[in-house]
């Protein structure tokens, strides 16, 4: 179902309430250390301003339990003013008479930033009365916060019941890439899954088994699968209670003729620290050793499977890439995938961090801005923030 976007609605002179994802990292002096999320919202912001909208911006920051000075959105307003080259007025609340008064004085092209919407417990409870108070500030609702679309909160879902509700460009792009991969992917379709836990990815695997040709599994989750196949995994990460599920997934994949490719060699250490002595083992992992990355033969095996792919979705690093000595698998795959001619979708926080670290993010077709939201999309779940938007 195609959703309406900011381009499908008249913004001229209208008050536009835009939910953005300005959940940026701050250092102890409240300086923003990475403004990627703010920059990601700029195309929609600029479009609304160019079309004479009066822009009211809203976002959460962190997980406050009530108002907290360290989680105010003032640093965001300051950075946004610089990026837009115009003043962004930051208010100290998100509802109430003082906010209404400021909004009533806005002219087309003005920008206001409301205070952290999670200072109100009603936001995460999706309180209808709170959502209505947010809606009363505006004529139109725009959701450009994909990273929170899997949450039914007042500013992501509740507010859409009271106003015409459309997607911003960021959310539109996320929907387009994920819908294509899930409903009509170019084949062969290869899914790369990594990360620490099988339990985080069971839903993804089960939903994608009918859609993909192959699944490459690395990272901590691979060892539960290897254990399920009877391979000795030493002291590597194991979710004992998921061995039966892993066995079940392997047999379902076989029945559907989907290849599940697991590591055939491993980079091992006796303890996880950057200076640990590493060794490579084939097939199994010796007792007492912990696998921390895929080995060179697995890297070749994975590349071989990827080189003919037309669609690649990658969620989760294949080793402990945050530690330089254990990052080779993730780095080599990232650089290899970057140069392939395929639709390449990167989902999930750690994978996004990896492709950015290796300077290949701009070579991917789509780098998702929402870790949890992209996972739930791949699980085939309905995302409430997207479902709430008006259909074309």
Token pair, residue 318, equals 């294949």
How wide is the angle at C-alpha 26 spanned by C-alphas 47 and 33, nearest 5°?
Answer: 70
**How long, in residues, is the chain?**
392
Helices (H) and strands (E) in the chain, counts: 15, 15
Contacts of 209 (CB under 8 A, 6+ apart): 215, 249, 252, 253, 256, 258
The pLDDT value recorded for residue 348 is: 76
Q: What is d(CA 332, CA 162) in angstroms, rounded to the nearest whole number? A: 49
DSSP structure string for 96-131:
SHHHHHHHHT--TT-EEE---GGGSHHHHTT-HHHH
Specify which residues 165 forms β-bridges with.
Answer: 141
What is the torsion angle, in degrees rounded to the nearest 10, for the CA atoms of residue 358, residue 363, residue 365 and residue 369?
40
**Nearest CA among 18, 14, 20, 41 for reference residue 108:** 14
Which H/E stretch holds residue 314?
strand 311-315
The pLDDT value recorded for residue 146 is: 93
Are the CB atoms for 144 and 41 separated by under 8 Å?
yes
The pLDDT value recorded for residue 369 is: 83
Which H/E stretch holds residue 240?
none
Report the catalytic residues: 37, 197, 349, 372
Q: How far is CA 10 from CA 14, 122, 173, 388, 391, in A?
A: 8, 30, 20, 19, 16
Sign of CA dihedral 121, 126, 129, 135: positive
Please, where in the chain does CATH 3.40.50.1260 lie? 6-172, 185-378
Are the CB atoms for 158 and 127 separated by under 8 Å?
yes
The pLDDT value recorded for residue 372 is: 85
What pTM was estimated for this model as a whole? Answer: 0.91
Q: What is d(CA 71, CA 65) in angstroms, rounded to the nearest whole number? A: 10
pLDDT tens string 273-304: 999 999 999 999 999 999 999 999 999 999 99
Q: How far is CA 297 from CA 35, 242, 265, 266, 304, in A?
A: 38, 27, 6, 9, 11
Positions of the chain with pLDDT under 50: none
pLDDT tens string 161-216: 999 999 999 999 999 999 999 999 999 999 999 998 888 899 999 999 999 999 99
Class for the domain spanning 6-172 = alpha beta
**If you ran DSSP here, which 8-state letter would residue 231 be given?**
-
**Nearest CA among 187, 242, 243, 228 for reference residue 210:** 187
The CATH code that applies to domain 185-378 is 3.40.50.1260
Are the CB atoms for 294 and 265 separated by under 8 Å?
yes
């Amino acid at each position: 179902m195609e959703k309406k976007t900011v381009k499908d609605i008249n913004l001229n002179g209208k008050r536009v309430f835009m939910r953005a994802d300005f959940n940026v990292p701050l250092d102890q002096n409240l300086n923003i250390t990475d403004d990627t999320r703010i920059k990601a919202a700029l195309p929609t912001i600029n479009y609304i301003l160019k079309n004479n909208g009066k822009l009211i911006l809203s976002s959460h920051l962190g997980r406050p339990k009530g108002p907290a000075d360290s989680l105010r959105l003032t640093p965001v307003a300051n950075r946004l003013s610089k990026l837009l080259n115009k003043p962004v007025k930051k208010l100290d609340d998100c509802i109430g008479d003082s906010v209404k008064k400021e909004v009533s004085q806005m002219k087309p092209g003005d920008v206001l930033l409301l205070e952290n919407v999670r200072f109100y417990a009603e936001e995460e409870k999706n309180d209808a009365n709170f959502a209505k108070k947010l809606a009363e500030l505006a004529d139109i609702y725009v959701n450009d916060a994909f990273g929170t679309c899997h949450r039914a909160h007042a500013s992501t879902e509740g507010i859409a019941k009271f106003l015409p509700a459309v997607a911003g460009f960021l959310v539109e792009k996320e929907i387009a890439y994920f819908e294509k991969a899930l409903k009509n992917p170019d084949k062969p379709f290869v899914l790369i899954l990594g990360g620490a836990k099988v339990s985080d990815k069971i839903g993804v695997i089960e939903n994608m088994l009918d859609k993909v040709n192959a699944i490459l599994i690395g990272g901590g989750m691979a060892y539960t699968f290897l254990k399920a196949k009877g391979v000795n995994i030493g002291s590597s990460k194991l979710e004992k209670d998921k061995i039966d599920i892993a066995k079940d997934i392997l047999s379902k994949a076989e029945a559907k003729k989907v290849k599940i490719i697991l590591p055939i060699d491993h980079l091992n250490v006796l303890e996880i620290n950057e200076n640990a002595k590493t060794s490579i083992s084939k097939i199994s992992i010796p007792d007492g050793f912990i696998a921390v990355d895929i080995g060179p033969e697995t890297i070749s095996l994975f590349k071989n499977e990827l080189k003919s792919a037309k669609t690649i979705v990658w969620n989760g690093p294949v080793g402990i890439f945050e530690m330089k000595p254990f990052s080779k698998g993730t780095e080599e795959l990232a650089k290899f995938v970057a140069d392939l001619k395929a639709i390449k979708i990167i989902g999930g926080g750690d994978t996004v961090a990896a492709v950015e670290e290796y300077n290949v993010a701009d070579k991917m077709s789509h780098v998702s801005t929402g870790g949890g939201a992209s996972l739930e999309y791949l699980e085939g779940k309905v995302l409430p923030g997207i479902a709430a938007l008006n259909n074309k």
